């Protein structure tokens, strides 16, 4: 099948890492068109996935854009949509992977009469999007998309609550190749980074809603041999927050207990070096790739009990869930994991076993392939049942 994938970002966020895996089986006849240049292009090229960067200037719509800003971006949008509609003539369908890609893809789909699939990686709630953007996403999806693939039940429910048509949706979790997450030499990694004691890792871009500040606060209620390793950078311009975190470290006197490594492409060995992985989002996480990655590494996870995380982790069995934005509860879970290494290890093992089955990349690629096949043949698409099994 020939697919024109569209993504707004040149950065390597979760949606882009997911698309990398979705696009691989189609690389001989498909193209990923990007609305911005960046490391994502290099990653696609590295996997021999054809890529085209469509614009030198990123689109001026922001997640919190109002009506006026949205309208004023039309001058930029329309020529892009025309270009994508022309490009789409050589493909069976357009696959929009992000919000801005949906806007361009929907217009192009209408102009060029190509079916549109929308892969929704975001929770369409007021915490993440302005009401104009929520309404626009739902309107365009309802009007133009033949299928909306959502990355969790939480994402699907938010789409429907915002007015999206339920009949368009299916839940398909992100897929992962379990073999990639095999044990790294944990001691070598720890020595090379000078890590000692009980290490809590946090693997996310630096952003207020990813809640790195909550883990810093929690550290003050843990014993002095607990250290935190932050992996990730301010991918989408949240430099101010990065500076606030540094100031918080100083204010709390945590300089010797905290490391910021910036963005790393070797997340797997770094996860193996941790004793616990903390997912600290203060708003509902649409899916939470890092949670599954930690599970696949056999590392126990403590995650914020909101959004997709609730579908991934069963508290006390395959990880711990704590209320979002609650440093005390997070600290209590860290103390428990540290005090009961056997329980933590059993939780990590169970999580690894379960995640290898539930999020197996080949199964998920097959589910997406079935959906795309049906869309390209103009058939109604059903929900792939196995993805929605409870943990
Ligand atoms: N990640 C990475 N390097 C980093 C930090 C994060 O490669 O320094 C990856 C992480 O392993 C995960 C993705 O970025 O695969 C983040 O996806 P997630 O769903 O957790 O969050 P999102 O960025 O989509 O909100």
Q: What is the mean pLDDT of each run of 10 residues along the chain (391 residues)?
A: 95 96 97 95 97 77 60 75 95 96 96 97 92 94 97 97 96 97 89 96 96 98 98 87 97 97 96 98 97 98 98 97 98 98 98 97 97 88 56 39
Ligand 1: distance of its center to the CA of 359 in Å? 16
Closest atom of ligand 1 to CA, residue 235 = 23
Full-prediction pTM beyond 0.85? yes
Question: Look-up: residue for tokens 């915490």?
Answer: 127
CA distances from 390 to 71, 219, 235, 293 (A): 42, 32, 32, 18
Name all domains of the chain by residue range, CATH numbers in brackets. 3-175+360-376 (3.40.50.2000), 178-358 (3.40.50.2000)
> Nearest 5 degrees, angle CA 223-CA 229-CA 233?
145
Cα of first residue to Cα of last residue in the chain, in angstroms, is 33
> Nearest 5 degrees, angle CA 215-CA 217-CA 218?
60
Ligand 1: distance of its center to the CA of 20 in Å? 13
Closest atom of ligand 1 to CA, residue 233 = 8
Probe residue for ligand 1, chosen from 13, 209, 307 as the CB with the greatest number of ligand atoms within 8 Å: 13
Closest atom of ligand 1 to CA, residue 263 = 8
Which residue's alpha carbon is at the smallest distance from atom 21 of ligand 1?
14
List all residues whose CB is within 6 A of at least one atom of ligand 1. Answer: 12-15, 17, 203-205, 231-232, 263-265, 267, 287-290, 293
Probe residue for ligand 1, chosen from 7, 9, 15, 17 as the CB with the greatest number of ligand atoms within 8 Å: 17
Closest atom of ligand 1 to CA, residue 205 = 5
Probe residue for ligand 1, chosen from 11, 204, 209, 281 as the CB with the greatest number of ligand atoms within 8 Å: 204
pLDDT at 128: 86
Ligand 1: distance of its center to the CA of 157 in Å? 23
Which residue's alpha carbon is at the smallest distance from atom 13 of ligand 1?
14
Residue closest to 319 by CA, chosen among 274, 276, 376, 259 = 276
pLDDT at 390: 41
Which residue's alpha carbon is at the smallest distance from atom 24 of ligand 1?
14
């Amino acid at each position: 099948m020939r697919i024109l994938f569209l993504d707004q970002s040149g950065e390597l966020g979760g949606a882009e890492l997911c698309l990398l895996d979705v696009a691989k089986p189609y690389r001989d006849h498909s193209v990923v068109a990007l609305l911005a240049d960046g490391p994502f292009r290099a990653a696609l090229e590295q996997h021999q996935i054809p890529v085209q960067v469509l614009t030198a200037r990123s689109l001026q719509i922001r997640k919190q854009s109002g009506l006026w800003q949205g309208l004023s971006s039309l001058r930029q949008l329309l020529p892009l949509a025309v270009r994508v509609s022309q490009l789409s003539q050589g493909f069976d369908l357009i696959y929009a992977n992000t919000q801005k890609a949906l806007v361009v893809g929907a217009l192009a789909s209408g102009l060029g009469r190509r079916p549109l699939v929308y892969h929704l990686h975001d929770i369409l709630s007021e915490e993440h999007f302005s009401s104009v953007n929520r309404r626009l996403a739902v309107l365009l999806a309802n009007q133009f998309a033949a299928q909306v693939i959502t990355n969790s039940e939480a994402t699907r429910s938010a789409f429907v609550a915002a007015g999206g048509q339920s009949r368009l949706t299916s839940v398909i979790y992100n897929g992962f190749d379990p073999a990639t997450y095999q044990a790294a030499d944990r001691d070598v990694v720890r020595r090379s980074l000078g890590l000692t004691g009980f290490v809590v890792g946090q693997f996310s871009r630096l952003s207020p809603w990813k809640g790195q500040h909550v883990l810093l606060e929690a550290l003050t209620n843990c014993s002095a041999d607990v250290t935190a390793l932050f992996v990730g950078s301010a991918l989408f311009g949240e430099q101010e927050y990065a500076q606030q975190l540094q100031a918080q470290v100083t204010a709390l006197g945590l300089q010797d207990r905290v490391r910021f490594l910036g963005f790393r492409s070797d997340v797997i060995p770094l996860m193996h070096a941790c004793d616990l992985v903390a997912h600290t989002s203060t708003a509902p996480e649409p899916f939470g790739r890092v949670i599954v990655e930690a599970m696949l590494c056999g590392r126990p996870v403590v995650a914020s009990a909101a959004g997709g995380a609730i579908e991934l982790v069963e508290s006390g069995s395959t990880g711990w869930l704590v209320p979002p934005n609650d440093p005390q509860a997070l600290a209590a879970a860290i103390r428990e994991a540290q005090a009961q290494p056997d329980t933590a290890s059993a939780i990590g093992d169970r999580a690894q076993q379960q995640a290898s089955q539930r999020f197996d990349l080949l199964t998920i690629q097959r589910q997406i392939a079935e959906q795309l096949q049906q869309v390209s043949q103009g058939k109604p698409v059903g929900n792939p049942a196995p993805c929605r099994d409870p943990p």
